Amino acid sequence: MEAQAPPESLRALWYDLMADLATTVDSIPSRVSQPGGTLSKAPSRFGVAFFLVALAAGLCYIAVHVARDLDSVIITSIWPYLLLGLALAIALGFEFVNGFHDTANAVATVIYTHSLEPNVAVVLSGVCNLIGVLLSSGTVAFAVITLLPVELILQVSSGAGFAMVFALLIAAIVWNLSTWWFGLPASSSHTMVGSIIGVGIANQLMHARNGTSGLDWEQAVKVLKALLISPLVGFLFAGLLVILAKALTDTDWARRMAFIYQANYRKPVWALLRILLAGVAGTGLLNLAAWLLSPFGIAKWLPILEIEQWHTPVGLILTVLAIGFVIHLALALLAGFVLKNGELLFEAPKNNQPPPWPIRTLMILTCTGVSFFHGSNDGQKGMGLIMLILIGTVPTAYALNHAVTASDVQQFIAASEQAGQILDRHVDKNGVLGEDARTEVTDYIRTKQLQPDTILALRELVEDLNHEVALYKVFKSVPAEDQANVRNDMYVAGEAIRLMQSTKNPAFTPAENAALSNYKSKVDKATRFIPDWVKVAVALALGLGTMVGWRRIVVTVGEKIGKEHLTYAQGASAGLVAMGTIFAANTWALPVSTTHILSSGVAGTMTANGSGLRLSTVRNIAAGWVFTLPAAAVLSGTLYWLFRAIS
């Protein structure tokens, strides 16, 4: 059933407001095929049946686990549950819109190279998004949440807290739907960050006299840098990858080398020599990469490291031979590909025919990879807000992680005692403890100014938490009326330690930093958790959204960025770079935009291949990138002010 068109007056208003963003559709040259006819195909029965089964199973799973979580909650009023249902519906609505707005980018390349039928590609992408969400760590979710004013996070169950959540989500949904309507690949990540910025600024302006904080600008700058740099990375590296692929597959030199390799790779002496050379070079490059990436927390693959360290030098020799053998086989496969399909890689699809299986496999792998990593990154943004909603409405069930075991609690107690001793060594002798330790520490987080009584208050907070947790043995035994307070104390203590470590004030020793980081990890385990049913709900919303409204964005990415039809090499390069960039962002707990990484990657491949860019589309995408943050900020700030006025 097709959606009804909006009223003409409303459409006219939006076209007037966003005229510069509307994309002019130019026709694709007739010598190449277009998937336009296939875009209108109905979803396959198998795909629909599979997703319906997954949807039914997911809903049953969610219902069972929500009922189990709320079993111990004493119901005194139906109002919190109505509010919970409304907030969850809006939050999952954001993820639904995110699905057909952002995830469509993942299927654009595989559809426009005829590697998969649209209905199959969309179902595959939805499933991969679901898996990505389920396997996500949650670090990106809480990185986004820390942008918010600390007072609103601590008072999420108040009117201000709900006004914040509703303003964020409604603003994000409205802007995403607006850009989707015009077929613009704007970013849901930019939209969410812009909405958070708007609420933070509005909150600060509305309460400037009493010193209420706004955004955590340090964290905001970090996130904005990631959102700014990642599209540039997509453009540059996708373009370089196309150039490299052309040099390795579609030049006379490449074909000559491929012929030599194909003729000799099975000869024992020739092969052994190549294996040794490739093994030495590959092991050296692997060690160099591990050394370069070690400061960023990315080490060499652990099994390889263990083999190298086994019975030296036997382990190192085995590593060299294993890596050399893998490279040798890869080069043999590449040689066969160059001789058979090297030229085809840089041609546009013709006659709606799927590409040869090596190219088709590559395109499908990039589609699944981008979809998986999109789910693992973009899916987390909604999860963080859903957790705020749960904590605000039913803190008894979700303020603290009830899955933490008694053994974990004992480790928390031991870490607390060690943290308290460390803080005691850094207490300012001029410090005087106020009436409320949490208020003192919250002021430090808000102002980022270390006062004489700050560390004294933090030590008191850590010790009080230690005694309280030790009294109840496990978190689920904490009285219902105290669950939210214990969580807030933990959150404030953890954030204060993070801030002290990042500013290096006070100057903790390496051993002290390690002990405090251990304590913070125990705090995070108790407060920064995401129930599995929340992941399932977000995954289903993303997957369903992908299957419903993908066409508009797919057309823009597939047809309107370059002047020529997307080639196999361009689609694969853009997808591979998008996968790697999102994976790196997940590693560093940063939100990035799948939309802008992939669309800028396609633009980079068009530029590198000399295909030319449709400047009108590039201008419109850039305009969407520029206007999304301020537009979402103004919209969310206005909604927050309105909700606070009526609450």
Would you list the DSSP string of 283-349?
Answer: HHHHHHHHHHHGGGT-PPPHHHHHHHTSTTTHHHHHHHHHHHHHHHHHHHHHHHHHHHHTTGGGS--
Does 292 score more than 80 pLDDT? no
572, 601 Cβ separation under 8 angstroms: no
- Angle at CA 274, nearest 5°, toward 270 and 277? 140
620, 184 Cβ separation under 8 angstroms: yes
Domain boundary pick from 341, 376, 411 = 341
369, 81 Cβ separation under 8 angstroms: no
Joined tokens for residue 16: 């007037």
Strand partners, 562: 613
Q: What contacts 418, CB < 8 A, 6 or more positions away? A: 515, 518, 519
Whether 76 and 223 map to the same domain: the answer is yes
In a domain, 540, yes or no: no
Distance (Å, whole) CA 20 – CA 619: 9
Q: Which range, 133-147, 186-200, 345-359, 500-514, is most confident?
A: 500-514
The candidate with the shortest Cα–Cα distance to 586, out of 99, 101, 137, 94, is 137
Does 277 score more than 50 pLDDT? yes
In a domain, 43, yes or no: yes
Average pLDDT over residues 416-425: 93
The candidate with the shortest Cα–Cα distance to 178, out of 68, 294, 22, is 22
Whether 271 and 388 map to the same domain: the answer is no
SS3 613: strand
Whether 416 and 508 map to the same domain: the answer is yes
- Give the pLDDT band (50/70/90) at residue 6: very low
Strand partners, 613: 562
Task: Point out the least confidently predicted range of 421-430, 502-511, 558-567.
Answer: 558-567
Output 260 or 10, whichever has higher pLDDT: 260
Burial 306-315 (b: 16+ CB within 10 A, else e): ebbeeeeeeb
Whether 287 and 231 map to the same domain: the answer is no
Output 526 or 312, whichever has higher pLDDT: 526
Whether 120 and 143 map to the same domain: the answer is yes
Whether 219 and 263 map to the same domain: the answer is no
Q: What pLDDT is recorded for position 547?
A: 72
Give the global pTM. 0.77
Whether 417 and 561 map to the same domain: the answer is no
In a domain, 544, yes or no: no
User: Tens digits of per-residue pLDDT, 141-196?
Assistant: 888 888 888 878 887 777 888 889 889 989 988 988 887 777 666 777 888 889 99
Q: What percent of the chain has pLDDT over 90?
A: 21
SS3 435: coil
In a domain, 24, yes or no: no
SS3 530: coil
The candidate with the shortest Cα–Cα distance to 341, out of 569, 562, 116, is 569
In a domain, 498, yes or no: yes
Q: What pLDDT is recorded for position 64?
A: 93
In a domain, 385, yes or no: yes
Whether 432 and 555 map to the same domain: the answer is no
Whether 413 and 558 map to the same domain: the answer is no
Does 576 score more than 50 pLDDT? yes
257 is in which domain, residue-wise?
Answer: 251-341
Domain boundary pick from 461, 494, 527 = 527
Whether 150 and 274 map to the same domain: the answer is no
Distance (Å, whole) CA 445 – CA 214: 11
Distance (Å, whole) CA 614 – CA 568: 19
Whether 58 and 180 map to the same domain: the answer is yes
Backbone angles phi, psi at 562, to 5 degrees: -105, 160
Joined tokens for residue 264: 């000799």
Q: Which pairs with CB-CB distance under 8 Å and at least 24 residues apart come from 251-258?
A: 254/338, 254/342, 255/338, 255/339, 255/342, 257/335, 258/334, 258/335, 258/336, 258/338, 258/339, 258/342
In a domain, 83, yes or no: yes
The candidate with the shortest Cα–Cα distance to 410, out of 525, 542, 546, 509, is 525
Average pLDDT over residues 312-317: 75
- Give the pLDDT band (50/70/90) at residue 516: very high
In a domain, 365, yes or no: yes
Q: What pLDDT is recorded for position 481?
A: 83
Whole-angstrom CA distances from 14 to 564, 621, 635 are: 30, 17, 15
215, 200 Cβ separation under 8 angstroms: yes
148, 63 Cβ separation under 8 angstroms: no
Domain boundary pick from 527, 557, 576 = 527
345, 28 Cβ separation under 8 angstroms: no
Whether 487 and 423 map to the same domain: the answer is yes
How many Cα neighbours within 13 Å face the side chain of 598? Answer: 35
Residue 645 burial class via C-beta count within 10 angstroms: exposed 0-12, middle 13-18, buried 19 and up: exposed
Q: What is the CA radius of gyration of the chain?
A: 27
Per the structure, the count of domains in the chain is 3
| φ/ψ bin of 429: left (φ > 0), alpha (ψ from -120 to 50), beta (otherwise) | alpha
Count H helices, E strands: the chain?
Answer: 27, 0
